[in-house]
Structure 1
Amino acid sequence: MSRLAAACRALVAAPWFNAASFVVILLNALTLGLETYHGFVRSAGAVFHVLEYVFLACFSVELLVRFCAHLPRPGRFFRDRWNLFDLAIVLAPLIPGVRENVTLLRLLRLARIVRAFRLFPSLRVILVGIRRSLPGLASFLLITLLVLYGYAMLGWMVFGHAYPEQYGTVGQAMLTLFLLLSLDGITDTLQAGRAVTEWGILYYLSYMIAASYLLTNLLVGVVLNALQEAQEVEKEAAAAPPAPAPRSNIEERIAVLRAALDDLEREVAGADAVPVEAGVR
């Protein structure tokens, strides 16, 4: 068992193992995209069906190797969220009710692409950065909502009678201002606002500065800060000393050493007995 676990750990640590897994993920994504072309499906539908089983077998073997790499303490395998995600992706198509649903099967096959994040540290940094930026993004969304609501109320009071489709209610005004965050059609919007009142230019210019520039820079700052923290966490994890060997591995090694010592003692005892017998004769 220890030899199997050591071999699996060496296999998982090999660079080509992750590269091969990534190639399988890309081929799975390519096959999924080709199935959207009806001509390919009609001419090679059976091939796609066989390839799906091949990909499923490859992912199952990879998962089995990763599981064996955690022996003789398999509980550590289930502590890794990526392993749980892989396990769900592999086992879900086997559940009755799921395998008969074509839409769910395609979603599960599409979810396999996410597995590429676990194979490369740079992708993991981005994913961790996104996760760490969620609290900051919540605050950002709250500020954005307050800004939109304030300007929507002003827009309703100023432009509600002239443009009821865009500013007839506060909800319509918020939707209009949200679409203006990209500054698409801002020139026409400025002219339309100026046709109602000269204060329309000040209204839209202040909104552009507050929403399109300040809030955008705030969002970029939140994401960059989270990515920097994720990079530091990744560096600390890479520089951390290796985990000590499990107690079960140490006990196995002690048992092997004891067996070797017993064999050596028996050999020494046998070698000492041979001269004594020769002298007696």
Structure 2
Amino acid sequence: MSHSLHPGPLPSPRGGFFRDNWNVFDLLVVGIAVIPATGPFAVLRSLRVLRVLRLISVVAGVMATKLFGTIDPGDFGDLGTSLFTLFQVMTGEAWPDIAKTIMEQAPLAWIFFVVYILVSSFAVLNLFIAVVVSGMEDELRQDIREEEAKQAEAQAAANQEILDELRALRAELAELRQEKAA
């Protein structure tokens, strides 16, 4: 009895990876993650949160297709249609109409829609908050660096002034010693 590590057929070695849109999406997210954490592209790093949103959407899409596919095949007949319909629900576009159509035959469907809207809105809201906070954090760090540079410059100027005064005092002291010795 032999057991295979791969339950399905092996992917094509040449370009098979790029035929799957989710693989391309993951590649972009990982590519964004290696961008330096400073500079104008730092905000792009927060887009890594999209992977969580993708997971939520796919799981909800599968659930919606299984739960509502026979009730409303126009909106939930297959996974692609379900994902598009759930995107509309997430953005608030016509979701009451979609929910009413489903709830005519499945009265408790409102629970699915409310939970999906809350979870997806929470994820999107957190994404935007992360982008804003990341941008503000970068600006704050830049301001702190500038302020530290100004303080270091002022301290260096004060130190130089003190050294100049000490040299002047030593010179006066040396003159006084020479006058006293003469």
TM range (shorter): 0.5 to 0.7
- How far apart, in 1, do the equivalents of 2:99 and 2:70 lie? 17
The amino acid across from 1:227 in the alignment is G
User: What's the RMSD between the two structures over aligned residues?
Assistant: 2.3
The amino acid across from 1:232 in the alignment is L
Contact 2:60 2:116 in 1 (8 A): yes
Contact 1:144 1:215 in 2 (8 A): yes
Which position in structure 2 is the counterpart of 1:178? Answer: 87
Match of 1:209 among 106, 112, 118: 118
Question: In the alignment, does 2:51 pair up with 1:149?
Answer: no
Paired residues for 1:30-179 under 5 Å: 128=39, 131-138=41-48, 140-179=49-88
Query: Between the two proteins, what is the percent identity of the paired residues?
Result: 16
Match of 1:218 among 113, 122, 126: 126
- How far apart, in 2, do the equivalents of 1:161 and 1:177 lie? 16
- How far apart, in 2, do the equivalents of 1:182 and 1:235 lie? 36
Using structure 2 for the length normalisation, give the TM-score: 0.55
Structure 1 unaligned spans of 5+: 1-126, 243-281
Larger helix proportion, structure 1 or 2? 1
List structure 1 runs of 4+ shifted beyond 6 angstroms.
none
Using structure 1 for the length normalisation, give the TM-score: 0.37
> Across the two proteins, how many residue pairs are aligned to each other?
114
- What SS does the aligned partner of 1:133 have? helix
- How far apart, in 2, do the equivalents of 1:194 and 1:147 lie? 22
The amino acid across from 1:133 in the alignment is V
Contact 2:72 2:102 in 1 (8 A): no
Contact 1:159 1:196 in 2 (8 A): no
Deviations 1:115-156 (A, max 9, x none): xxxxxxxxxxxx95x622322211x11111111111111110
Aligned-pair CA distance for 1:203: 0.8
The amino acid across from 1:176 in the alignment is T
The amino acid across from 1:136 in the alignment is S
Match of 2:142 among 230, 234, 248: 234
Contact 1:160 1:169 in 2 (8 A): yes
The amino acid across from 2:131 in the alignment is V
